[in-house]
Chains A and B, each alone.
Chain A
């Protein structure tokens, strides 16, 4: 079956521009996550969506970052007025949300963002 997909795979943008990253989770997965991986670092949690509950935005690094999810489908991560320190791979993951498998997150290939 189809896994988590993300687009674009690569994005180069100028400092100060806005960017929008897209994630298509696995069909039927109620939970969706965004992470950021800077060069040489581990994955940083950004935001979590679970069904119709209020998202956990505690990992968003600044108010320039926002994310939306429509129901249990596509999510978009928006970064406004991009800065060079935003350069990273942005990873999306989804999970079934059921208790027995709540920790098995399935990752997409990521979007490599480069801010020049």
Chain B
């Protein structure tokens, strides 16, 4: 039972354009969402997060949008750079738990020069 779904296994965009990575979830008890980026042979690194009381969080080129009614969040990267090429994982935390994360399967983003 996949509670966090990233339905696009891969995405390819041109340098300078916007990358939009999507994530859907089924558990209404999730109250905190995170995005991690993973390069080959490295562990995931934290990128950006959002609390369920917000609908948008921005950090430089990265913005995460949360639509609670649709149980959907997205990560926007503008402008995309070749160094952004990596696997992006969406993760979520259940209310009352301060540590247990449920991850999606990831989306491989390729930014072409």
Contact = CB atoms under 8 A, between A and B. Distances in A.
Given A41-B105, A43-B89, A43-B103, A105 B98 contact: no
B41 A45 contact: no
Nearest to A110: B43
15 contacts: A40-B105, A41-B105, A42-B106, A43-B44, A43-B89, A43-B91, A44-B103, A48-B99, A56-B100, A93-B43, A102-B98, A102-B99, A103-B32, A104-B46, A104-B49
B45 A45 contact: no
Interface string A95-106: 100010011111
Q: Interface range on chain B: under 10, 10 to 19, 20 to 34, or 35 or more?
A: 20 to 34
Contacts of B104: 42
A107 interface: yes
Contact of B99 (A33, A41, A91, A108): A33
A77 interface: no
B41 A103 contact: no
Contacts of A106: 43, 45-46
B13 interface: no
A103 B98 contact: yes
Contact of B34 (A42, A48, A59, A103): A103
Contacts of B32: 103
A103 B94 CA distance: 11
Contacts of B42: 109
A113 interface: no
B18 interface: no
B92 to A, nearest CB: 10
Contacts of B101: 43, 45, 103, 105
Given A103-B34, A107-B44, A42 B93 contact: no
Interface in A27-69: 31, 33, 35, 40-45, 48, 50, 56, 59
Contact of A42 (B49, B89, B98): B89
Interface in B73-113: 89, 91, 93, 98-106
Interface in B9-33: 32
